[in-house]
């Protein structure tokens, strides 16, 4: 449940629907699910095994596992996580503000929740100040858990928040699919499958989303892997984590896209999609303000777990590789993340490229290097030993070669296809 809590968050309920909207519906969804199975589950096992084997975060793990230039690689991904955590925490601040809006509406007060969203371009002082305040509150909430430690903080909260979010998603789905005209949204989301719609951009976006939503990238899951016991079954946990992650994303799609079509909204409206759609759905439900409050609180809780995981990566990087103790490392990273969260607050013209660069591109590169480290830098016998639980039979040898050849090949092929189709236009 903790690993699902780390994986399930804004990547599923906020980012997945907006990426589906941007990349045209069902073709993206099909390729996303395929990538979770073909790449995501084995890569998740590889990252956990890398962390468990080295007992280090990303900065120390790559070097200790024997990757040439491993320490520099680790510090590079330390920077990537810092940049990604900044914009992710900012988006989490939006969710917090919408939860407060639900509370205000439930109490009968007027509240313009959308005031916090960045403009498409230009600069709006009100939006920037609201984002600054909410992002600061989110960071302080993360600090509170980080200072207590993972086992007494994250695990306890995961067991409550993840089931609550899934329950509220089911409620929203019921109302969304019963709206007049909702069937068109369901068809567009999973049934309107057109091979001609596939492109390098769709495939690369789906691969990046699979890696993003599973919190892969040589960072989060490496750190959490370093806390795993030798008896933990990586194969079973990877399947459960990926299944919970995919289900959460699909549920979010069923909650949002039927309502998007029923209400005549635009599915390709970008990062603000759920913030434009769900308030209108809640507006058509008795006591909608209360349900909006509960939903955005649950979404905030799930996303908050992932945000704490991001901070844990950064804190572990500092404590493992400097003389800083945990408490000063927590406060230092809180200050740095707050500062780096400021640029994406300005407008969507900055936020979206920031998201695609650090949320898809750099995390895909991190996942690739993690797999290459386990399959090429570590001896085969040691890699197979770490990919299984202590006392269990070793995993099949084909899994090792899958990590060694198939996953790197799949990532490189998707990247090449994207270059040929979307950048160079060589292939239609």
Domains of the chain and CATH, by start: 2-423 (1.20.1740)
Classify 233 in phi/psi space as left (phi over 0), alpha (psi -120 to 50) or beta: beta
pLDDT of residue 250: 92
pLDDT of residue 421: 66
Given a contact cutoff of 8 angstroms between Cβ atoms, the answer to whether 313 and 220 are in contact is yes
pLDDT under 70 in the chain at which residues? 1-8, 149-158, 196-197, 391, 418, 421-428
Given a contact cutoff of 8 angstroms between Cβ atoms, the answer to whether 116 and 285 are in contact is no
344: which 2 tokens?
Answer: 């994406």
Q: Rounded distance, CA 237 to CA 123, Å?
A: 45
pLDDT of residue 1: 62
pLDDT of residue 340: 96
pLDDT of residue 76: 93
What residues contact 352, with CB distance under 8 A and at least 6 apart?
A: 270, 271
Task: For residue 43, give the nearest of 310, 404, 361, 316 by alpha carbon.
Answer: 404
Q: Rounded distance, CA 356 to CA 363, Å?
A: 10
Q: Rounded distance, CA 273 to CA 48, Å?
A: 33
pLDDT of residue 41: 95
pLDDT of residue 127: 97
149: which 2 tokens?
Answer: 């430690």
pLDDT of residue 157: 67
pTM value?
A: 0.86
pLDDT of residue 36: 95
pLDDT of residue 153: 58
């Amino acid at each position: 449940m903790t690993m699902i809590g780390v994986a399930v968050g804004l990547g599923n309920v906020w980012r997945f629907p907006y990426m589906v909207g941007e990349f045209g519906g069902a073709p993206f969804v099909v390729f996303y699910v395929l990538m979770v199975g073909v790449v995501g589950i084995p890569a998740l096992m590889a990252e956990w095994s890398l962390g468990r084997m080295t007992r280090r975060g990303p900065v120390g793990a790559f070097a200790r596992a024997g990757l040439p230039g491993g320490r520099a690689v680790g510090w590079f991904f330390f920077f990537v996580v810092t940049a990604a955590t900044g914009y992710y925490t900012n988006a989490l601040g939006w969710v917090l503000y919408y939860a407060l809006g639900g509370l205000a509406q439930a109490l009968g007060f007027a509240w313009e929740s959308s005031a916090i969203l960045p403009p498409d371009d230009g600069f709006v002082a009100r939006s920037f100040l609201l984002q600054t305040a909410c992002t600061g509150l989110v960071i302080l909430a993360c600090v509170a858990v980080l200072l207590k430690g993972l086992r007494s903080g994250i695990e306890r909260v995961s067991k409550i928040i993840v089931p609550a979010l899934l329950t509220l998603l089911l409620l929203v789905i019921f109302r969304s699919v019963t709206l007049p005209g909702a069937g068109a949204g369901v068809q567009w989301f999973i049934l309107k499958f057109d091979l001609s719609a596939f492109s390098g951009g769709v495939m690369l976006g789906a691969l990046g989303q699979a890696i993003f939503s599973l919190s892969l990238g040589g960072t989060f899951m490496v750190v959490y892997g370093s806390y795993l016991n030798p008896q933990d079954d990586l194969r079973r946990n990877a399947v459960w984590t990926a299944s919970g992650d995919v289900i959460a994303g699909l549920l979010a799609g069923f909650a949002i896209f039927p309502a998007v079509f029923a209400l005549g909204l635009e599915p390709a409206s970008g990062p603000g999609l759920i913030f434009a759609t769900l308030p209108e759905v809640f507006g058509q439900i008795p006591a909608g303000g209360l349900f909006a409050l509960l939903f955005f609180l649950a979404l905030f809780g799930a996303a908050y777990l992932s945000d704490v995981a991001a901070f844990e990566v950064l804190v572990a990087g500092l404590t493992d590789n400097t003389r800083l103790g945990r408490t000063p490392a927590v406060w230092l990273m809180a200050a740095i993340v707050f500062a780096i969260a400021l640029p994406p607050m300005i407008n969507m013209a900055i936020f979206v490229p920031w998201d695609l660069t650090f949320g898809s591109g750099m995390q895909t590169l991190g996942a690739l290097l993690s797999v290459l480290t386990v399959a090429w830098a570590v001896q085969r016998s040691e890699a197979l030993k770490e990919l299984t639980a202590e006392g269990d039979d070793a995993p099949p040898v084909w899994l090792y070669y899958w990590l060694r050849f198939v996953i790197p090949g799949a990532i490189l092929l998707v990247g090449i296809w994207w270059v040929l189709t979307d950048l160079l236009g060589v292939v239609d």
